Structure 1
Amino acid sequence: MERNLDIIEANSNRITIYLEGFPISFGNALRRLALSDVPTMAVDYVYFYDNDTSIYDEIIAHRLGLLVLKSDEAIHKYKLLEECKDKNETDVSCYVQVSLEKELEGDNVSGIYIKASDLKFSDENIKPAYPDTPIIYLAPGQRIHLVGFARLGRGKEHGKWSPASVSILQYVTTVDVNGSMSNDECIECVSAYKEVADALKAKENKSIDYKTNINTSGLRYCEDSACKGIIKVRYDSNRLLLTVESNGSLEPQQIILEASKSLDRRADALLQKLEKLEVKKYE
């Protein structure tokens, strides 16, 4: 089968890629690597110097670690964990410093919320993807002072480094319509699927492809009830839809690109090992 690839949808949050003629294992590898092997920046550990708030140090550190940090430039600028395992936080090629120092005088009438935008980063290109994310509430008379360090990591190490909130692989759905047998009950049942309903109303016999992420449970229900013998729902394993939604740390197309590079590196590493492999011959 001839291979075909097309971008069905692409925006700042989501990308959907159409894959035709590719094995399911290829699409699934990209799906998994988008979640587990694409590096992003996240806060790794935090030193506390003052914390008079009602929230424990550990909880604040956990919240800082889960902040989504813009990493489009960081993945090209900073070294990965395997290159930084013997380095400490003073190495600027591995770590970015994150600091917060805030105090509220006791004569204030009310407290304030400390947000992600209040954090200061040693690299101005590293910043929260969602600056209004609340971290803690600072009441009058309270003070907080902390210094943390962010580094590149991968989702397989911890979920906070995963750049994708959604990464799914689906078959393209095909609906075979026998319009000559259509009836009002069937048309009403599939009314949520405009293309199918229109074909039934026009008494057309045709096949309709859905190259979008649709919920097909309604179609399958109709197939087994009001539209028995009128429509048939099929899933084509030779035509796939890969959808990735970014959590904001990377652009979705960048996630796919980095996942593809990771798959390519793994394939090259396997080929190199196979070329060096010496197989013992038994007589």
Structure 2
Amino acid sequence: MKVEILERDKDSITFLLKGVPLSLANALRRAVISEVPVFAIEDVYFYENNTSIWDEYIAHRLGLVPLKAEWGTYNRDSEVKFYLDKQGPGVVYSGDLQPETPGVEVVDPEIPIVVLREDQALRLEAVAKVGDAREHAKWQAGIASFRPVVRVEIKDEQLFRELLPDIDPEDVRRQNERPQGVDTAVYNLVDEVLEDHPEVGEIKKKKDVFLFYVESYGNLPVDVLVRAAVSELLQRLEMFMTKVEGNKA
């Protein structure tokens, strides 16, 4: 298996995954989406809430606030308390949540929670626990998608131009030369035309090379998120092999 990084920034990464079957590529996608453990608020204890929003609604909003912590500093039994105490008038933001101990904090401090009038107040204690998105989406650390690397072979350029006037055949040929192949939008349009006009050309897919896109929600840096997903996947494979070997005995 080989990985070739094409683009990377603070929250997203695009890379080629080479030499793997479709099933393994999809397993990695699922691991990124649902198996990486992160913090999220699970329990909320209200001491004062005379706002226009019920306790349950506020608790739900707090649960969806992304929290970040350094990978490796926590485990699935870790918990962190947050406190919030604010008087109106004003807006309660996610940044008003104050952790009891350092190391866990909100990703974006400007997420609005509730508006307070002059005579209103919100005072609560929230407990953040570690979980993964198999239990609830609030523990989802990011999103991932992939597709095979695609190249378009044009057989009838004149007909291609007639049926796809917005796509330049020369641009398609240039995209064919890139490691990631043609853009997804080009692939979708050409694929739709070829269903009725196969004489126009042919779509060629590499069976063991996939274009991956991963975006972090901020709970973890995107490169850490990918490594954590691989680690979780390997742990599950090791558990599976251990059980298989145990049954042999």
User: How does the TM-score come out when normalised to structure 1?
Assistant: 0.78
Q: Deviations over 1:85-129 (max 9, x none)?
A: xxxxxxxxx21111111113xxxxxx3111111111123332221
Question: Do the aligned partners of 1:176 and 1:232 also contact (CA within 8 Å) in 2?
Answer: yes
- Structure 1 segments, 4+ long, off by >3 Å, are 187-194, 196-200, 206-210, 221-225
Query: CA 1:68/1:231 → structure 2, altered by over 3 Å: closer, same or farther?
Result: same
Counterpart Cα distance in 1 of 2:199 and 2:65: 52
Root-mean-square deviation over aligned CA pairs:
2.5
**Match for 1:251: what amino acid?**
P
Where do residues 17-166 of structure 1 align in structure 2 (5 Å cutoff)?
17-71=15-69, 73=70, 75-80=71-76, 84=77, 94-104=78-88, 111-164=89-142, 166=143
Question: Could you tell me which residue of structure 1 aligns to residue 160 of structure 2?
Answer: 186
Task: Give aligned-pair identity as a percent.
Answer: 28
Pick from 151, 169, 182 the counterpart of residue 146 of structure 2.
Answer: 169
Query: CA 1:99/1:263 → structure 2, altered by over 3 Å: closer, same or farther?
Result: same
Listed as ranges, the gaps of 5+ residues in structure 2 are: none
Q: Deviations over 1:113-153 (max 9, x none)?
A: 11111111123332221211100000011111101111211
Query: CA 1:219/1:199 → structure 2, altered by over 3 Å: closer, same or farther?
Result: closer
Pick from 187, 205, 217 the counterpart of residue 188 of structure 2.
Answer: 217
Instruction: Give 1:20 deviation, angstroms.
Output: 2.1
Q: Deviations over 1:181-210 (max 9, x none)?
A: 422x6336546555x33467xxx9x95567
Instruction: Give 1:275 deviation, angstroms.
Output: 2.8
Question: Could you tell me which residue of structure 1 aligns to residue 2 of structure 2?
Answer: 4
Counterpart Cα distance in 2 of 1:34 and 1:28: 10
- Bigger Cα Rg: 1
User: How does the TM-score come out when normalised to structure 2?
Assistant: 0.88
**Match for 2:64: what amino acid?**
L
Counterpart Cα distance in 2 of 1:99 and 1:188: 64
Query: CA 1:245/1:192 → structure 2, altered by over 3 Å: closer, same or farther?
Result: farther
